[in-house]
Structure 1
Amino acid sequence: MTRFIHDQFAKDYLEELLKPYGKVKASSRVAGEIREIDVLFSPAQQANNLEMLGILGKFAATSAIFEPFRNPASEEEICDCLLKLLEVRGALQREANRNKISIKELEIPKLWILSPTVSVRILSGFSAIQASNWVSGVYLMGEYLRTAIVVIHQLPRTQETLWLRILGRGKVQRQAIDELEALSSNHPFRRATLELLYNLQQNLVMSQTEESDDRELVMRLAPLYQQDREQARQEGQVEGIKQGEERLIIRQLNHRFGEIDSSVLERIRGLSTDQLETLGEAFLDFSSLTDLETWLDQNL
């Protein structure tokens, strides 16, 4: 159950980081909706400041497919990722044939499989070799496959790898969160990442997870959430707090109940900051949109 919660966090997180630099399609379907790509990214013609994302920015310098895994990617899962890449490539080739043009190499996406750990057996089986021109933890397959397996827990603990290590687990993820917390409060990705992590925390609490990694993550994020809100209040960022709470709750509602009616969204945006925080707690007990509407009727 919690694996899917982490999967959704990873998709939302990558989409949030990459959307300033190009076109992002999360959960993009291919081959008659048989398979679903986690994140398909096409960089803008002038994607400035990609270096702010470190090696994630380097991955996104050209068209890319990102397939993040919470648990170590298995042989079957990696094969499925390769099939998605080949199907996208086939679709591009068919379109080029119809238009009687050639595919530009930069238009063919590269596949980046992001996994916390990967066994030596699997790396060897796919002939994935540590790339000499990348940091440790990046293993490239054959040139024509345009694929790399990124072993997150092997990445060096540097600023350049921070945005990928956030997708690790256990100690690696907690260290990355510590580094995220230490960033300047006006860093362009700090706020968005924290909000997504708070959303992850709420979903894990709601799932009543029994996994030790998840429980430790919830405990790590709880004081950070309170500290973050208190600091924002002291700095007079009341409107920023309110907007953050709105985004957090609306994202949770959409994931749990599907697309929310615009009239309900307007009612949520009419809530005060304190009401939004109360709703965030009450939301854990909702089983349907009717519960949400009842709560709004009682609190507006």
Structure 2
Amino acid sequence: MTRFIHDQFSKDYLEELLKPFGKVQAPSRVAAEVREIDVLFSPFTTQTANIETLGLLGKMATTAAIFEPFRNPATKEEITDCLLKLLEVRNAIQREANRNKTSIPTAEIPQLWVLTPTASEAIISGFGATFKSDWVEGVYFLPEYLRTAIVVIHQLPSTQETLWLRILGRGRVQQQAVDELTALPANHPFVEVTLELLYSLQQNLRINQNIEIDDRELVMRLAPLYQEDRARAIQEGEQKGEQKVILRQLNRRFGDIDLSLIEQIKGLSTEKLEALAEQLLDFNEVADLATWLQQQQESQNQ
């Protein structure tokens, strides 16, 4: 169960970081038997934002790309399935080119990035993947025409350039990345959205009964950060900021929230917002939120 929670986090995370720089589809379906690409990315023709902000991830996103993140080490079967997805996308592009009687520009064929926490030497050598001197340690490229690389997250150097990929790691690698994230300036363009996604991940993991040791440690690491952010917002009198954080958390967990519920949340006092921020960790569905808001209304009218 927790693997699917992390899968959704990875897709949401990559989508949020990449959408200023191009079109992001997460997930995207290909083939008649329906294979889902985790994240399909097409860069804007003209960049209006600085993609270098994302370091190594930004370098990967300078061309069309498919991102396939794995919570557990990717198996040879899973990597092979990723290659099939890439070939199906390439075939679709080729069919379109044939209809238009044009050739395919190399830049239009996506580069596949398989993001895995670890990978054995047998996996790397079995796919004929090798290191390139103009890339950092931990990035292994398959033969040229396959347009694929295996990114071993736990082998990446601990630098700011690799931070946005190490967030998708496990255990100490991920926790160190979280520490580095919180040390960045608060006005960094991706700090706020990344923390909100991590807080949402924490909440989803917290309500899971069969949580793994790595996940339990991550929950414990994120809990004080979440409380500090809420406390800071309250101390600064940023009631609207508190509302924004809560609404984003609810949207991440339950999708779009009914406007009537949003209006009720906006009408809550700072004290009630603080209570809601604590209580929403235990909500399993939107109906729990509606019930809680109704209870607050009833207590206020008494």
TM-score normalised by L of structure 1: 0.92
Q: Which residue of 2 aligns with 1:238?
A: 239
Question: 1:239 Cα shift?
Answer: 2.2
- Counterpart Cα distance in 2 of 1:231 and 1:53: 27
Name the amino acid aligned to 1:295.
W
Conservation of the 8 A alpha-carbon contact between 2:2 and 2:211: no
- Counterpart Cα distance in 1 of 2:211 and 2:286: 27
Question: 1:97 Cα shift?
Answer: 1.2
- Counterpart Cα distance in 1 of 2:144 and 2:196: 38
Which runs of structure 1 show a deviation greater than 6 angstroms over 4 or more consecutive aligned residues? none
Kindly tell me: are residues 268 and 105 of structure 1, through their superposed partners in 2, closer, same or farther at Cα, counting changes over 3 Å? farther
Counting aligned pairs with the same residue, the percent is 67
- Counterpart Cα distance in 1 of 2:132 and 2:265: 49
Name the amino acid aligned to 1:99.
N
- Counterpart Cα distance in 1 of 2:267 and 2:72: 40
Name the amino acid aligned to 1:292.
L
Aligned pair count reads: 296
Consecutive unaligned residues of structure 1, counting only runs of 5 or more, are: none
Question: 1:280 Cα shift?
Answer: 4.4
Is residue 145 from structure 1 mapped to residue 146 from structure 2 by the alignment?
A: yes
Q: Which residue of 2 aligns with 1:292?
A: 289
Rg (Cα) greater in structure: 2
Name the amino acid aligned to 1:238.
Q
TM-score normalised by L of structure 2: 0.92
The farther-off stretch of 235-244 and 121-130 is 235-244
SS of the aligned residue for 1:207 comes to coil
Kindly tell me: are residues 270 and 91 of structure 1, through their superposed partners in 2, closer, same or farther at Cα, counting changes over 3 Å? farther
Conservation of the 8 A alpha-carbon contact between 1:250 and 1:265: no
Question: 1:98 Cα shift?
Answer: 1.4
SS of the aligned residue for 2:19 comes to helix
Q: Which residue of 1 aligns with 2:216?
A: 215
1:106-146 superposed Cα distances (whole Å, 9 cap, x missing partner) = 11110000000001101111001112110000000010110
- Counterpart Cα distance in 2 of 1:287 and 1:219: 21
Conservation of the 8 A alpha-carbon contact between 2:90 and 2:109: yes
Is residue 63 from structure 1 mapped to residue 60 from structure 2 by the alignment?
A: no
- Counterpart Cα distance in 2 of 1:273 and 1:39: 38
- Counterpart Cα distance in 2 of 1:187 and 1:193: 11
SS of the aligned residue for 2:20 comes to helix
1:31-56 superposed Cα distances (whole Å, 9 cap, x missing partner) = 13611011111111122300000010
Q: Which residue of 1 aligns with 2:9?
A: 9
